[in-house]
Chains A and B, each alone.
Chain A
Amino acid sequence: MKNKNTNDAVANIMDNLAQYSRWDVQSVLKRFNSSEEGLDEFEAGLRLEVYGPNQISTERPTPWIVQLVKAFVNPFSAILFFLAGISFIIDVLLAAPGEQSWRSVIVIGSIVLISGTLRFIQEFRSGKEAEKLKDLVHTTASVVRAGAGKHEILMTELVPGDIIHLAAGDMIPADVRIVSSKDLFVGQSSLTGESEPVEKYDSLKRKADSEKTPGLSELDDICFMGTTVVSGSAVAVVLATGNDTYFGAMAKTLTGKRELTSFDKGVNSVSWVLIRFMLLMVPVVFLVNGITKGDWIEALLFGISIAVGLTPEMLPMIVTTNLAKGAVRMAKRKTVVKRLNAIQNFGAMDVLCTDKTGTLTEDKVILECYLDIHGNEDIRVWRHAYLNSYFQTGLKNLIDMAIINRAEKEGYENWDNAYKKVDEIPFDFNRRRMSVVLEDDKGKRQLVTKGAVEEMLSVCSFAEYGNEVVPMSDEIRKEALELADRLSADGLRVLAVAQKNEVPSESIFCVEDESNMVLMGYMGFLDPPKESSAAAIRALKDYGVTVKILTGDNETVTKKICNEVGLPVDNILLGNRIDGMTDEQLALETDRTTIFAKLSPMQKARIIRVLKDKGHTVGFMGDGINDAPALREADVGISVDTAVDIAKESADIILLEKDLMVLEEGVIEGRKTYGNIIKYIKMTASSNFGNMFSVLAASAFLPFLPMLPIQILMLSLIYNISCISMPWDNMDADYLKIPRKWDASSIGKFMIWLGPTSSVFDITTYILMFFVICPAVFGGAYGAPGVNGALFMSLFNTGWFVESLWSQTLVIHMIRTPKIPFIRSRASLPVLLTTTAGIAVGTLIPFTPFGYTMGMQPLPPAYFPWLLVTILLYMALATLLKTLYAKRYGSLL
Chain B
Amino acid sequence: MVIGDNVYTAAGLFITLGLMVLGLIAAWPAVNAFKKGRNFAKWYVFSVLLFPAALIASFAIKPRLK
A residues near B (Cβ < 8 Å) are 693, 697, 700-703, 753, 756-757, 759-760, 763-764, 766-767, 770-772, 775-776, 780-784, 877, 880-881, 884-885, 887-888
A701 to B1, CA, bound (A): 17
A884 touches B13 (CB 8 A): no
A780 surroundings in chain B (CB, below 8 A): 2, 4
A884 to B35, CA, bound (A): 10
- A-B pairs, top 3 by smallest CB distance, nearest first, are A781-B4, A701-B12, A775-B2
Q: Distance (Å) between the CB of B43 and the closest chain A CB?
A: 11
Given A757-B24, A760-B17, A888-B34: A772 touches B2 (CB 8 Å cut-off) = yes
Besides A770-B13, A881-B24, 13 other A-B contacts (C-beta < 8 A): A700-B12, A701-B12, A756-B20, A763-B20, A764-B17, A766-B13, A780-B4, A784-B5, A877-B24, A884-B27, A887-B34, A888-B31, A888-B34
A885 to B9, CA, bound (A): 33
A763 surroundings in chain B (CB, below 8 A): 13, 16-17, 20
Instruction: Give the interface size bracket for B toward A.
Output: 20 to 34
Q: Distance (Å) between the CB of B25 and the closest chain A CB?
A: 8
28 contacts between A and B (CB under 8 A): A697-B16, A701-B12, A701-B13, A701-B16, A756-B20, A759-B20, A763-B16, A767-B10, A767-B17, A770-B9, A771-B1, A771-B2, A772-B1, A772-B2, A775-B2, A775-B4, A780-B4, A781-B5, A781-B6, A783-B5, A783-B6, A880-B25, A880-B28, A881-B27, A884-B27, A888-B31, A888-B34, A888-B40
Q: Distance (Å) between the CB of B12 and the closest chain A CB?
A: 3
Nearest A residue to B11 by beta-carbon distance? A701
A887 to B28, CA, bound (A): 10
B3 within 8 A of A: yes
B14 touches A767 (CB 8 A): yes
Nearest A residue to B34 by beta-carbon distance? A888
A702 surroundings in chain B (CB, below 8 A): 9
B4 surroundings in chain A (CB, below 8 A): 775, 780-784
Specify which of B1, B24, B28 is in contact with A760 (CB 8 Å cutoff): B24
B21 within 8 A of A: yes
A700 surroundings in chain B (CB, below 8 A): 12
A756 to B19, CA, bound (A): 11
A756 to B24, CA, bound (A): 8
Q: Distance (Å) between the CB of A757 and the closest chain B CB?
A: 7
Q: Distance (Å) between the CB of A811 and the closest chain B CB?
A: 15
A757 to B23, CA, bound (A): 10
Q: A interface, by DSSP: helix, strand, loop or mixed?
A: helix
A538 to B13, CA, bound (A): 57
Q: Distance (Å) between the CB of B38 and the closest chain A CB?
A: 12
B23 surroundings in chain A (CB, below 8 A): 756
B16 surroundings in chain A (CB, below 8 A): 693, 697, 701, 763
A880 to B32, CA, bound (A): 13
B6 touches A782 (CB 8 A): yes
A770 surroundings in chain B (CB, below 8 A): 6, 9, 13
Q: Distance (Å) between the CB of B63 and the closest chain A CB?
A: 14
Given A697-B13, A701-B12, A888-B34: A753 touches B27 (CB 8 Å cut-off) = yes
B9 surroundings in chain A (CB, below 8 A): 701-703, 770
B27 surroundings in chain A (CB, below 8 A): 753, 881, 884-885, 888
B3 surroundings in chain A (CB, below 8 A): 771, 781
A767 touches B13 (CB 8 A): yes
A771 surroundings in chain B (CB, below 8 A): 1-3, 6, 10
A701 surroundings in chain B (CB, below 8 A): 8-9, 12-13, 16
A697 touches B2 (CB 8 A): no
A772 surroundings in chain B (CB, below 8 A): 1-2
B residues near A (Cβ < 8 Å) are 1-6, 8-10, 12-14, 16-17, 20-21, 23-25, 27-28, 31, 34-35, 40
Q: Distance (Å) between the CB of A797 and the closest chain B CB?
A: 15
Nearest A residue to B29 by beta-carbon distance? A884
A772 to B25, CA, bound (A): 26
A877 to B1, CA, bound (A): 24
A775 to B21, CA, bound (A): 26
Nearest B residue to A760 by beta-carbon distance? B20
A780 to B31, CA, bound (A): 45
A772 to B1, CA, bound (A): 5
A887 to B35, CA, bound (A): 8
A763 to B35, CA, bound (A): 32
A784 to B3, CA, bound (A): 10
B2 surroundings in chain A (CB, below 8 A): 771-772, 775-776, 780-781
A499 to B45, CA, bound (A): 82
Q: Distance (Å) between the CB of A516 and the closest chain B CB?
A: 65
B21 surroundings in chain A (CB, below 8 A): 760
Max chain B C-beta neighbours (<10 A), residue from A764, A767, A877: A767
Q: Distance (Å) between the CB of A84 and the closest chain B CB?
A: 33
A759 surroundings in chain B (CB, below 8 A): 20
Q: Distance (Å) between the CB of A773 and the closest chain B CB?
A: 10
B34 surroundings in chain A (CB, below 8 A): 887-888
Q: Distance (Å) between the CB of A702 and the closest chain B CB?
A: 6
Q: Distance (Å) between the CB of A753 and the closest chain B CB?
A: 7
A784 surroundings in chain B (CB, below 8 A): 4-5
A766 surroundings in chain B (CB, below 8 A): 13
Specify which of B6, B24, B31, B35 is in contact with A703 (CB 8 Å cutoff): B6
A763 to B13, CA, bound (A): 7
A693 touches B6 (CB 8 A): no
Specify which of B10, B14, B20, B31 is in contact with A884 (CB 8 Å cutoff): B31
Q: Distance (Å) between the CB of A863 and the closest chain B CB?
A: 15
Q: Distance (Å) between the CB of A23 and the closest chain B CB?
A: 76
Q: Distance (Å) between the CB of A387 and the closest chain B CB?
A: 67
A702 to B10, CA, bound (A): 9
A884 touches B28 (CB 8 A): yes
A693 to B3, CA, bound (A): 22
A884 surroundings in chain B (CB, below 8 A): 27-28, 31
Q: Distance (Å) between the CB of B24 and the closest chain A CB?
A: 6
A877 surroundings in chain B (CB, below 8 A): 24
Nearest B residue to A698 by beta-carbon distance? B13
Q: Distance (Å) between the CB of B48 and the closest chain A CB?
A: 14
A759 to B17, CA, bound (A): 9
B35 surroundings in chain A (CB, below 8 A): 887
A201 to B35, CA, bound (A): 69
A877 to B4, CA, bound (A): 31
A888 surroundings in chain B (CB, below 8 A): 27, 31, 34, 40
A441 to B59, CA, bound (A): 95
Q: Distance (Å) between the CB of B56 and the closest chain A CB?
A: 17
Q: Distance (Å) between the CB of A255 and the closest chain B CB?
A: 48
A770 to B17, CA, bound (A): 14
A700 to B31, CA, bound (A): 33
A776 to B17, CA, bound (A): 22
Nearest A residue to B28 by beta-carbon distance? A884
Nearest A residue to B10 by beta-carbon distance? A771
Nearest B residue to A783 by beta-carbon distance? B5
Q: Distance (Å) between the CB of A792 and the closest chain B CB?
A: 11
A782 surroundings in chain B (CB, below 8 A): 4, 6
Q: Distance (Å) between the CB of B5 and the closest chain A CB?
A: 6
A781 to B24, CA, bound (A): 31
B40 surroundings in chain A (CB, below 8 A): 888
Nearest B residue to A696 by beta-carbon distance? B16
B25 surroundings in chain A (CB, below 8 A): 880
B20 touches A887 (CB 8 A): no
A700 to B9, CA, bound (A): 8
Nearest A residue to B40 by beta-carbon distance? A888
Nearest A residue to B27 by beta-carbon distance? A884
Q: Distance (Å) between the CB of B46 and the closest chain A CB?
A: 16
A757 to B4, CA, bound (A): 29
B1 surroundings in chain A (CB, below 8 A): 771-772
A113 to B26, CA, bound (A): 43
B12 touches A697 (CB 8 A): yes
A13 to B22, CA, bound (A): 73
A757 to B17, CA, bound (A): 11
Given A770-B9, A781-B2, A784-B5: A693 touches B28 (CB 8 Å cut-off) = no
A540 to B52, CA, bound (A): 47
A776 to B2, CA, bound (A): 8
